[in-house]
Structure 1
């Protein structure tokens, strides 16, 4: 995002344009202006926050490859918000809600770049058995999606954009007289809007940061504020690529170096900004009118002029004298003939308020996109999440666009999907047709599903939701188990039906962590230690979190039969906990140990597991055991800066890899001559109103191979890092 080279210029070449400020002091000054009767100042000092720019700074948890430490992340957000609340500063958050088509090429370019980093990340994990350094940091999958809901749950105002988020942030800030914009995007110094503060330089304990002073910047480069959009477009941004105006920059640089043999700024990036600014100033001076946005003397082709015009328009806010841009206020639905006006209105309102997910993109845009996911392109066994959840999305599309129709294949809508996954070149979108959802009643309408009332409608909503995942049988569990566990069961069952290589051990990993998470404190989750990191478990963790976002989309499409909170990862997933359960399950750990020796957790786990296997069996999917218990033999090559931290771990891994193999061999020998420990679990369906049932457990305790080896394997998994 932003103007090419401009952020570097602000930080490194002209420090006088960067002023260290205290946001608490500025808030008091802002409030004082309001008390003096300045009507352009908001009632409270308001800071408009670019949520997307903050994600990397918010996610400070030590683990990021395993799927996210969501409870800890929630705690970070809470602390961050409280710091501003105590200073009397109101926060308003904006997140990207769409990718504008004119910016799609830049979006694709970034996604490919991140894919390369993900490849390096998996290579490191498979070579070293651990998480790579921060230089290969990738945001946990789904972080942007779930952060919106996290902030709303903390009582914050959150908006999801209907166009470019930067534009809406600048527009909102200007319209409401905000004290500033907190972000990390040089576009914010181009907009004629509120002051631009750096989130990268923010010190949350003192609320100090850097203000990029727009007026000082203009004085330094010799331009007026209304000339900045042209400067930005000639330098290159998300609308006008660097390549499009390269010839102009080349000429500007030649003239600049000729006139400045000893340039003010030695770095090439600094010289380029000054050279183009000098060109803009000279061209502007030749024009008869100072308000002309595209000087005729640039000698551009008609196509280049149109591109430059679009780029400049992207910076002109409501109320500013602009070119004939015309497209900013046009709102329409891509599939108006398939849904009622009330559905369109509700989609848009929930999208803007960050209350919904996926439905706006389908109904109003006809486009769905999904950014990078932590997936190993060399793992041929596991399907990419985009393909795993394609059937689910098709049913969501069907519920939104085909409900109540006669099922005629004529004139079916088509959704454009921009999903990043291994093997997808992203040269064009995948064109996906909706698939009808089979419901028991006679063609109900989407309006009834969303706006109807009564027990019949509530039951229909739940049936619609479960049908999307082919889990209609689970309706009997509604109210009998926690909503978050019902959602987890739904999701894991769907994954098993879609991914034929998923094993019983994988299912045990998913379900045990969902059940045990409810009883874990934040401190316990933070102190989980792993003997090594499995690349397969990394991908399974990301697959699960992406599935949670599909649960959220299905819930919104079905009229919200489940509370959104039940679908949030901090209620059903912790990446580090999942990873530890994965290593234990694949190491042959006894179920009682896998469930933390908690009889209540064990009962719930076995009940959910039974429902899952029974449902899958009805659909011809029989789960098989396929343990992957031994640690690979890792290379001793270590990334710079990580050698000392991992030396002890790697030395231990070589020993433990051999030890596990020996133990497994002994385990088979003991099993042949010993007696198995038997665990009998009986369910009383009449107890507790037929919901949870009473579980009677009797264990025949004998000294078997599990008595001998389970404590050893468990100790290995729980060993602290060296």
Structure 2
């Protein structure tokens, strides 16, 4: 992210711009200079996810209790240094950044394909950081995690970097902690590097925009133009290629080829063409074609915080106002509440549906050659349709829809998929949204719960679920939904899900951290990701229904641990009895059996029979399985059904007919395809 090549230039070619700092001393100096304010650091949460997720296991779906412990240690270190933290997360993808977002998502898809190839070849997760993928949903759950830990957390309603830079400047903060050179370009508070942060001695590196300007002989107000000419998320490198080549040719003619000459050349170009005469304004002084002029003006404007001007713009454009696309369908009070809850990181997805009419979902660890398990985007499509149907009109002409940008293997992301709202399979009248959101009578609470269950088509189980607490209800909903939608889960799969959900309630993060699995199974990896992604949609449904369950009860650290699930999966498929899966604990076994009976009963009522079907797990010759670790007397063997057509394997109720068309390609099987256009989309 940020300005192309600027991080490398500052570190390798201009080391004086990278200043080591002691954060504790910096905080003390800040308080002395600003006695009326705290030493506050604003944290770019999206940029810190890789720094935070240091758990050894990542491929299994996430070590969430351990992750919470890491976040708490991070907070404690800053608190001990006298520094207050404020966290920001991206709450939307602005359309001018969509092309860059798509490019990155497709690149990560390639990495995920290589990760699964490694797993199949070596039966282990990759150790290389080049082949690394954060657990699914980590950005979503990190905001809720930090709220749970008592931290001030915000979710943006426009470009996240802009809101961070603006908040930091207007609140007189000590610095911004992140990993994005856009924060060098904004005229805001100092930018501190998360990648150089050492929590043991509370030191990091400050990337100085002032020193950068001195080295390049630029004014601070020139930095946005420099960023746009080098290329960023708004102005691509390709758009400025002609101008940059011209600048580079002139620079090399004078100075020859030197390290970092691209940045030096652009800076010289800016200095040579700076407006010096009366009547010459803005980028008009540059030798530009019209398309370049428009791109530069748009890009420069994006860096200007409220009240700031640029000599490279003839006039400042008014900031775009937040327009609610669905305002005519939804009561104003709900729109306002949805926006406030979104900004305070208290709900998920609803703001994006109502204000932008766009929902996006990043990459998930999914195997492109897996035939039995559909991608999460397809599996949870009916859930999203029903969530949309709670707010938006259900019309026969499909004129009201939500644009979805969802990443999965085979989706080229050339355009969004238009998804129309669908009603709940609900015996009563449509729920009263105003009552669900703002009233607190006991009857309303029951309606909130039944509406949420209706989103997962489990309305008829409202009474039976009253015996369980919120985390187990969450597990029940997701496991039952996955079993019914795929029709490919075995008893062993369900046992693995439920046993880990019961056991995780009684284990500390240190116990979970010490778990080891002898092998990594690619199907178990995808099942883990399916469950964790399902938790995000469960939270979206909880938000849409007025929060029948406390948000903290539906989080993965209350319901799921990747290593524990993987361990239970391997043991269940190797014939391990349920008593052993529940570690010989009678009360755990009793709780598990109660939930299991309800899951299987719900499946039977919907015509889905779940059978025992232990998978013969075959692993490569170079890494044989330890039979004792799998609690099995004979070595498992694999039976792979991937060569059959997916349409023959899958006869479940997933709504592929609405636009998703899974069909294996010749010589490249297992990818999922989108129809060129959904049947209900406009031409």
TM-score (norm 2): 0.90
Question: 1:310 touches 1:325 (CA, 8 Å); kept in 2?
Answer: no
Given the alignment, which residue of 286, 293, 305 partners 2:293?
305
Shift of 1:474: 2.9
Contact in 2 for aligned 1:108/1:426 (Cα 8 Å): yes
Structure 1: distance between partners of 2:69 and 2:316: 43
- Aligned pairs (5 A) from 1:465-504: 465-504=452-491
1:72-221 pair list within 5 angstroms = 72-133=66-127, 134-221=129-216
Q: Is the 8 A contact 1:413 1:433 kept in 2?
A: yes
- Structure 1 segment 263-274 matched on structure 2, within 5 A: 266-267=258-259, 270-274=260-264
Cα offset, 1:214, TM superposition: 1.2
Q: Which has the larger radius of gyration?
A: 1
Gaps of 5+ in 2: 638-683
Alignment RMSD? 1.9
- 1:522: which partner in 2? 509
Please state how far the C-alpha of 1:328 moved relative to its aligned partner. Answer: 2.8
Match in the other structure for 1:321: 309
Correspondences of 1:48-67 after superposition (within 5 Å): 48-67=42-61
User: What is the CA distance between 1:100 and its match in structure 2?
Assistant: 0.4
Alignment of 1:283-682 (within 5 A): 283-288=273-278, 292-301=281-290, 303-321=291-309, 323=313, 324=315, 326=317, 328-402=319-393, 408-410=395-397, 412-634=399-621, 636=622, 650=623, 652-653=624-625, 662=634
Relative distance call for 1:345 and 1:475 in structure 2 (3 A) is: same
Higher mean Cα deviation, 329-338 or 122-131? Answer: 329-338
Deviation, 1:479, is 4.2
Say whether the 8 Å CA contact 2:576–2:631 is kept in structure 1. Answer: no
Structure 1 stretch 548-557 or stretch 134-143: which is displaced more?
134-143
Q: For residues 555 and 327 of structure 1, do their structure 2 counterparts lie closer, same or farther at Cα, with a shift above 3 Å needed?
A: farther
The CA distance in 2 between the partners of 1:332 and 1:278, in whole Å, is: 41
Deviations 1:145-166, CA, capped at 9 Å, x for gaps: 0000000111111110111100
Deviations 1:447-503 (A, max 9, x none): 121112211111111110000001123322444212100110011101111112211
Alignment-derived partner of residue 282 in structure 1: 272
Q: Is the 8 A contact 2:575 2:631 kept in 1?
A: no
For this pair of structures, how many residues does the alignment match? 633
**C-alpha displacement at 1:304, in angstroms?**
2.4
8 Å CA contact retained: 1:161, 1:168:
yes
SS at match of 1:436: coil
Q: Deviations over 1:622-654 (max 9, x none)?
A: 1122211434224x4xxxxxxxxxxxxx2x438
Distance 1:506 1:424 in 2: 27
For residue 380 of structure 1, report the CA deviation from its aligned partner: 1.6
Q: CA deviation at 1:663?
A: 6.8
Question: 1:665-718 deviations in whole A, cap 9, x for unaligned?
Answer: 9xxxxxxxxxxxxxxxxxxxxxxxxxxxxxxxxxxxxxxxxxxxxxxxxxxxxx
Does the 8 Å CA contact 1:159/1:353 hold for their aligned counterparts? yes
Q: Judging changes above 3 Å, is the alpha-carbon distance between structure 1 residues 50 and 529 closer, same or farther for their aligned structure 2 residues?
A: same
The answer to whether the 8 Å contact 1:287/1:295 transfers is no
Pair 327,528 (structure 1): closer, same or farther in 2 beyond 3 Å: farther
Q: Work out whether residues 583 and 629 of structure 1, in 8 Å CA contact, stay in contact via their aligned partners in 2.
A: no
C-alpha contact (below 8 Å) 2:40/2:174 kept by paired residues: yes
Q: Please state whether the residue corresponding to 1:518 is helix, strand or coil.
A: helix
Match of 1:260 among 255, 258, 263: 255
Q: Distance in 2 between matches of 1:108 and 1:543?
A: 22
For residue 552 of structure 2, give the secondary structure of its aligned residue in structure 1. Answer: helix
Q: Which moved more, 1:44-53 or 1:448-457?
A: 448-457
Name whichever structure is richer in helix by fraction: 1
Q: Secondary structure at the match of 1:21?
A: strand
Deviation of 1:411 (Å): 6.2
Q: Retained in 1: the 8 A contact 2:231–2:237?
A: yes
SS of the residue aligned with 2:404? strand
Q: CA deviation at 1:10?
A: 1.0
Shift of 1:445: 2.6
Give structure 1 stretches of 5+ with no counterpart: 36-41, 637-649, 666-722
Aligned to 2:283, the other structure's residue is in SS state coil
Q: TM-score, normalised by structure 1?
A: 0.85
The secondary structure found in structure 2 opposite 1:67 is coil
CA distance in 2, matches of 1:258, 1:516: 69
- Please tell me whether the aligned partners of residues 359 and 400 of structure 1 are also in contact (alpha carbons under 8 angstroms): no
User: CA 1:176 to 1:470, structure 2 compared with 1: closer, same or farther past 3 Å?
Assistant: same
Cα displacement string for residues 110-161 of structure 1 (whole angstroms, at most 9, x for unaligned residues): 0011111111100000000001022211110000000000001111111101
**Correspondence for 2:37 among 26, 31, 43:** 43
Q: Which whole-Å deviations, capped at 9, do the CAs of 1:311-334 have from their partners, x for residues lacking one?
A: 111100001025555453501211
Q: Taking structure 1 as reference, are residues 507 and 224 closer, same or farther at Cα in structure 2, changes over 3 Å only?
A: same
TM-aligned CA deviation for residue 437 of structure 1: 1.8
Residues 1:300 and 1:664: Cα distance change in structure 2 (over 3 Å): closer
Q: Give the number of the structure with larger relative contact order, counting CA–CA contacts within 8 Å between residues 6 or more apart.
A: 2
Structure 2 distance, partners of 1:47, 1:289, is 43
Q: Return closer, same or farther for 1:629/1:598 CA change in 2, 3 Å cut-off.
A: farther
Does 2:241 match 1:246?
A: yes
